[in-house]
Amino acid sequence: MAKYDLILSGGMALDPANGFEGVADIGIKAGMIARVAPELDPFDGDEVVDVSGRWVMPGQIDTHAHVAGLSRNWDPALGYAMLARAGTTTVLDMGGTGYSLVDGIKRKGAGLNVAGLFALIPGATMPAAEPSPPEARDIVAGALRQGCIGVKILGGYHPFSPQTTSDIIHACNDQLAYVAFHIGTRESGSHLGGVREIPRLVGKGRLHVCHVNSYCRGVIEDADAECDEALGILEEMRSQLNSEAYHAIQNGTSGSCDFEGNVQANVPRNCLAMRGYAPTREGMGQAILDGYASVIGQRGGHVVYLKGREALTLYERANTQVGMSFPVNLPSTAFKLTTAKNAAGEFIVDAVSTDGGCHPRNVAIQSSMALVAFGALTPLEMATKLSLTPARMLGLANKGHFSEGADADITIINPNTNQPTMSFVAGKPIMVEGQVVGSGGTLLVTAKGRRAADASGLPYQVVDMAKSRLYAGA
C-alpha cells in the first residue's frame, strides 16, 4: 500500500502557521496532510500531480458569502459552483436558514465545507419586528438547532432598535453562537454612523463586523477619514471583534420599494444619494437606465449583472423585488483596510472575503495576488488573510495550515495569471482548471446542530465555537 493517496509535487508551498514558504511536495493520506518535504518519492503516491510553478496554499476560506438566501430572480445555490471555480474550499454563508443551506447543497453543492448563519428577517424567518430578550434567546437557540452556527443581523435591510440589536448580540454570546452584523440600527445607518455604534451595542461582548469596506464609501466623511475612524474602532476592540473586507467594486443590495414607491432599505438609498438620484422607484429606474445600477439575473447556470433596458424590464416585471448592484466600493478603501496593521504589526481587519458566492464578484484570490505583486502583501500574508486567520475566526483548528494531520483542503494558484487552477477538500479535487468536479458538501455545525445534520443525510463536522477567535478567552 502506498504511503500517500496523492502527492502534489513541486509547488511553492505557503504555510504561514508554520512559517514555511518554499518549493515542496505535499503528501496526502486519508484526507489529511501526511507530510510536507522538499522532495517525496513519487513511487510512494497512488497519484502524483505536478504543480511546478504554482503556489500551493491551505484552502481559501471565505468568511462572508451568499449561497443560501432568498431570491426571486436567481438561485443562490449557484454560488457553490461559483465559489469552487474561485478556489474557495470553505464558506460561511451570511444569511439563509439551516433548511435552505441543506437544500442548496443537495441540489447544487460543489464539494465545499459550508457553515451557515440564520438570517434575522422579521415576518419571514422570525415573527417579531423587535424581539424581547427571551424571544431573542429562543431565536438563537432555534437557529443552532437548525444546523446554523449562529445568526446574521441585517442592519442595512432589516434594522432593529439599538437595544434589540444589543440584546441579540448578547443572546448569541451567552449561547456561544457566532453573530455577524451588517451594520445599522433604526437610529443609525449602514455607514460610518453605524460603525460608531459598535462599542455601545457590543459592550463587553463579541461580534463579527461584516464587510468593513461597505461603511467607508464617503457617505459621512471623506472615505479615507472613514477608514481611519473604522480602523480605530476595530483596533480598540480587537479582542472582541472579527472583521473582513472585500475587494470588488460592485456591491450587492436590494431594489425593493414600498407601496408608495419609496426604496425601502438603507443601503440602496445610500447608493442612490451618492449620485444624486431620488430614493424612489422612479429614481432607481433612471439609475438603471443610466447604467449606474445593475439588476442581478440568471442566465443558464450563471448569475450575471444586467444593465440598461433589459435590467429595467426585469425590475418592473418583478415589481422591484430584485437583487441589485452599484459600483460604489472604492479600491483605495479596500487597499487600506486590507493592509492596515497595528503597532504590533498585526492586521487590523482580519480577513479578505468576497460578499459573493451567488454574486459574480468572487475575486478574493485574484485581488489579493495583485496586492502581492504590488508589494503590499507578502505571499505568506496573503495566505494568512485568505486561509489561516479565517480558519481561526471560525474555530476550524484543522484548517488553514499544512501541519501533519491537518485537513487536506488546498488551493493552487497560477502566479502568472493570479487565477486559482485547482482546489481540494479532504484531499479530493473539487475544481480543476476552472471546471467544478466536486458535488454535495460538508456541513459545519455546532453540537446543538448535530441532530439536524444527522437528519440532512449530508456529511458534517462539529465545530466548537469556544475555540473560535470570536470566543477564545471569553
| Domains of the chain, first to last | 59-249+329-391+436-474 (3.20.20.140), 251-325 (no CATH)
Three-class DSSP labels, 85-103: HCCEEEEEEEEECHHHHHH
The interaxial angle of helices 308-317 and 281-289, nearest 10 deg, is 150
Confirm if 425 and 112 have CB atoms less than 8 A apart.
yes
Mapped onto helix, strand or coil, the DSSP state of residue 117 is strand
Q: What angle is formed at CA 445 by the lines to CA 444 and CA 447, rounded to 5 degrees?
A: 140
Q: How many angstroms separate the CA atoms of 210 and 11, rounded?
A: 34
Burial of 329 (0-12, 13-18, 19+ CB in 10 A): buried
Q: How many angstroms separate the CA atoms of 279 and 313, rounded?
A: 19
pLDDT averaged over 10-residue windows placed end to end, the chain, 474 residues: 93 98 98 97 95 98 93 87 98 95 97 98 91 97 98 96 98 98 95 97 98 95 96 97 96 93 93 96 97 92 91 95 94 96 97 95 97 97 98 98 98 98 98 97 98 98 97 80
CA distances in angstroms from 296 to 307, 326, 372, listed in the order given: 9, 11, 31
Model pLDDT, residue 474: 64
Model pLDDT, residue 199: 98
Q: Cβ contacts of residue 66 below 8 Å, gap of 6+?
A: 76, 79, 93, 94, 95, 96, 252, 355, 356, 357, 358, 359
Looking from the CA of 189 toward its CB, the CA atoms found within 13 Å total 17
Model pLDDT, residue 237: 97
How many Cβ atoms sit within 10 Å of the Cβ of residue 138? 14
Model pLDDT, residue 73: 77
Please tell me the pTM assigned to this model: 0.96
Three-class DSSP labels, 162-192: HHHHHHHHHHHHHCCCEEEEECCCCCCCCCH
CA distances in angstroms from 261 to 66, 248, 286, 333, listed in the order given: 27, 29, 14, 33
How many Cβ atoms sit within 10 Å of the Cβ of residue 371? 20
User: Which grid coordinates belong to 362?
Assistant: 468572487
Q: How many angstroms separate the CA atoms of 241 and 148, rounded?
A: 20
Strands 356-357 and 253-254: unpaired
Q: What angle is formed at CA 248 by the lines to CA 199 and CA 76, rounded to 5 degrees?
A: 90
Confirm if 422 and 6 have CB atoms less than 8 A apart.
no
User: Which grid coordinates belong to 427?
Assistant: 484531499
User: Which residue type sits at 118?
Assistant: F
